[in-house]
Amino acid sequence: MSSTYFKSSAKRYNTIMEEKNKKNENLDDSFLDQTLRPTRWDEYIGQKHIKDNVKLLLRAAEERGHIPEHLLFYGPPGLGKTTIAHLIAHETGRQMKVTSGPAIEKVGDLASILTNLAPGDILFIDEIHRLNKMVEEILYPAMESGVLDIIIGKGPSARTIQLDLPPFTLIAATTRVALVSSPLRSRFSGGVFRMEFYSDEEIAEIVNRSSKLLETKLEEDGLKEIAKRSRFTPRTANYFLKRCRDYAQVNKMKLNKETVKGALAMLSIDELGLNNSDRRFLEVLIEKFKGGPVGLKTMSAALAEEEATLEEVVEPYLIQLGLLERTPRGRVATEKAYLHLSFAVPKNLQSKLL
């Protein structure tokens, strides 16, 4: 593999990115999520501890004339990891190249991306925990020393060449930080930040801002109704807002509390924000297994769902709301779950509360 190969790969990558950017420019009005994305710090609601730390880091780097250090953001989907990366690029006036862990399959793919960066560029890698291990090892010296070590040939005749890279900032995001190897985590010298769930008040602010950007008149009671069902997640809140707007438009209705209830009923979202899968989980746990305890494998078989789906998608929100408990013996439905689904509360749970 020669330097000519990497130059041609970089050229191809550059062409693809230019075509993609042109396509996105023509479709800006179609991608509502991009329209709703904040472009200034004062528009970014919530995550105050992260904002304060990142703003300090960026300002210090700017005053020293350095590029910002590498940053890693982790947390559940929809909390704004990608948004904050775009915001950093916008606030610093730097170009950002976007890719994802699964998209970088070979060492050559990473080499093409890195050698195509201009000095000071930001490289954003989403779902970095899904990076190929061989690719990850090539990333270490690139992050630490700004060089790319490439092995050319095989066996005794193999030799290593070192390519100098332009200074860049790597911003990464992951929903599963435990799967990011310790050596890789340690190289995010700017910090590793956990994205927190939002409060109802913060969600209400976000929905209010989004409704203005969408030029949708949303009444106060409708705003609160969307916020309380949004699972403490901005992405979910914006999704509900768009569907409620569609419902109100088609039915020629004002966007108030009753309209929101009607729209979310069509999506099978109840007053706690539970969907069909959430309710089905609790119903099976209560009706078939008398509220538990029951193991994850048994629940998976009873619901015909994969264990990972239940553990990572369904259960966290139920636990957060206090509808489900994970015990050493298995999953247990709480009194709140019985009451929410209108089941009679067992005596053992009643006595537990006394």
Query: Tokens standing for 95?
Result: 């170009």
- The single residue of 37, 97, 231, 235 carrying the catalytic annotation is 235
CB 148 within 8 A of CB 138: yes
DSSP percent split of the chain into helix, strand, coil, nearest 5: 55, 15, 30
Region of residue 3 (phi > 0: left; psi between -120 and 50: alpha; otherwise: beta): alpha
The reply to whether 82 belongs to the active site is: yes
The reply to whether 233 belongs to the active site is: no
Residue 149, strand partner residues: 162
Signed CA dihedral, 38, 40, 46, 47: sign only: positive
State the Cα–Cα distance between residues 69 and 56, nearest whole angstrom: 12
Neighbouring CB atoms inside 10 A of 97's CB total 19
CB 141 within 8 A of CB 149: yes
- The single residue of 83, 174, 175, 334 carrying the catalytic annotation is 175
Type of residue numbered 17: M
State the Cα–Cα distance between residues 308 and 314, nearest whole angstrom: 9
CB 123 within 8 A of CB 97: yes
The reply to whether 175 belongs to the active site is: yes
Residues 6+ apart with CB under 8 A from 111: 6, 9, 138, 148, 150, 163
Query: Tokens standing for 70?
Result: 């590498």
Buried b (16+ CB within 10 A) or exposed e, 219-235: beebbbbbbebbbbbbb
Strands, DSSP E only, in 92-208? 96-100, 122-126, 147-152, 159-164, 169-174, 191-194
- How far out from the chain centre does Cα 222 lie? 26
The reply to whether 126 belongs to the active site is: yes
The reply to whether 209 belongs to the active site is: no
Residues 6+ apart with CB under 8 A from 283: 341
- The single residue of 126, 174, 233, 242 carrying the catalytic annotation is 126
State the Cα–Cα distance between residues 64 and 56, nearest whole angstrom: 12
Active site residues: 81-82, 126, 175, 235
